[in-house]
Structure formats: structure tokens, C-alpha cells
Amino acid sequence: MIGWLKSCAPDWCAAVSVFGREDKKIPINIGHPRWLSEAADLSMTDYMRTERARLFGNQANAPAAEGSYELNGANGQLIIIVDSALKGIWRRVDGLIQFHNCVSVQILAPRVEGRPLADWAYDCFVAGCRDVHPEYAFAVMDDEYEALNMDRSDGVAAIGRDYSKYLPGIYWLNYFGTHLTGVLDRQKLLSAPATKVEALGNGVLLVQRERPDDWNLPEVVTRRRDIRKHIGAGYFFDREDAETPPAGLGYDARP
């Protein structure tokens, strides 16, 4: 991951820090081979430390306990959230299957590393999928995700995030790794009526539209529905479709 991060955001990587247990920023040496473990260790709560000790004792190579931590860089253009876990890529939370061991890159400025946001985000996304080989990845605008996946009827909650049933949606950029290309059918993915679809790394990259901020244009909404229907409507959550049963993604049967 470090090679991908440094190539995409060299200026941001010049000074990386993590929030410690007292909300203090602590510098992290990302040149160290175990820098992610160091960041997790510095941000761990007392409960997380106890849980890691219970499972792994004093093993020198014990992984970080489950939890999320925030990485800040030399400038305010990005925040990176890392969700680490003791094992595996998914777990059950309140009966729902959720991915973990995830990285979320939040873009806070109209230009990143001297480039327009959309150009930088596209190249960073493609490089990450090619080099890191994630199980699944997507890039989405804040207001797009708000419209498609947020429920504010009783507090605030994300909906459509049960990976035992379906993927949360079809967004600007979408990447399907080895398992998902098998479940969804690689040839269906590659023939989807999207702006661009191509093999990438161990999976398939699907670009739903040209410009990220055009998510609510009528023709883009229609294209999203056409892509969903082409691949299989049951594989993708849609808050406006209560009739199509979830197709399932096969994670229940995986170790």
C-alpha cells in the first residue's frame, strides 16, 4: 500500500500523523515496514489492547486489534481512514456482513497534489486497484452517496451495506476483484453499458460516467439502472427498488 500512496500523494506523504488516544496527532514514519501496525497501535483504545492480548498474547507479530484510525498528511487535501481487523476481509455486525481491513480516502480540496480533484481521484483509484488488488472498491461523491445510501428518517444510518445480500450501489468508479468477477460474471461486467469497462489487475474496472459530479443527470440515472439490469439487479442495492430480491454475493460460504 505504501508504494501506491507515495506515488499518488508524495506531498501529502511528506509528514503523516495519526490521532492518538488523547486526540493528539502523533507523527508516523511511513518508511518503516510496519508503519500501519504502528499507527494502529498508537490509536488503540484500552479495550482494543486487551482484546489483542487475549487473542495473541505477547507475539511480536500480533496484528492490530479491530478498529479504525485516521491518518493526516502534510497538507489538508486528504484524510485517510484505515479500518483494521484481526483476520479476514469481512465480519458480521448486527447480523450484517461488512467488509473490514479497508482504506477510505476522503478528498477535502478541489485540487490534490496540484491536479484537479477528478483527475487525481481517477488516477489514484486506478493505481490502487491495479497495485493493491482490493476485493471491492468504489469512488463516490458525497451528495451522490447521501442520495443513494443514507437514511435520515430516524437519526443517520447508511443503508444497502449488507454484503451477504448485495453491493451498495453503482457509483462513478467501481472495481470488482477476483471473487466478485466470478459471482457477477466477468463477461457481463466487461459488456456492461457503462462509459468505460476494462480488465484491471485481478478484476474489472467499471466507469459509470465521465464526470463525477454529473451523478444526478437524467441520462446518468438511466445508465445506472441499465448497468444494474445488465449485470443483475439483485446484485446491487437500490433504495427505489423494493421488489427485486437480493441475489447474494457468496460471502456466507467463504472462510
Low-confidence ranges of the chain (pLDDT < 50): 47, 255
The pLDDT assigned to 247 comes to 95
Contact 39, 67 (CB under 8 A): no
CA nearest 249: which of 104, 133, 89? 89
The pLDDT assigned to 164 comes to 86
Contact 202, 133 (CB under 8 A): yes
The pLDDT assigned to 137 comes to 96
Residue 99 burial (C-beta neighbours within 10 Å; 0-12, 13-18, 19+): middle
pTM: predicted TM-score of the whole model, two decimal places: 0.85
The pLDDT assigned to 172 comes to 98
* pLDDT tens-digit readout, 177-236: 999 999 999 999 999 999 999 999 999 999 999 999 999 999 999 999 999 999 999 999
Rounded to whole angstroms, the Cα distance separating 193 from 158 reads: 27
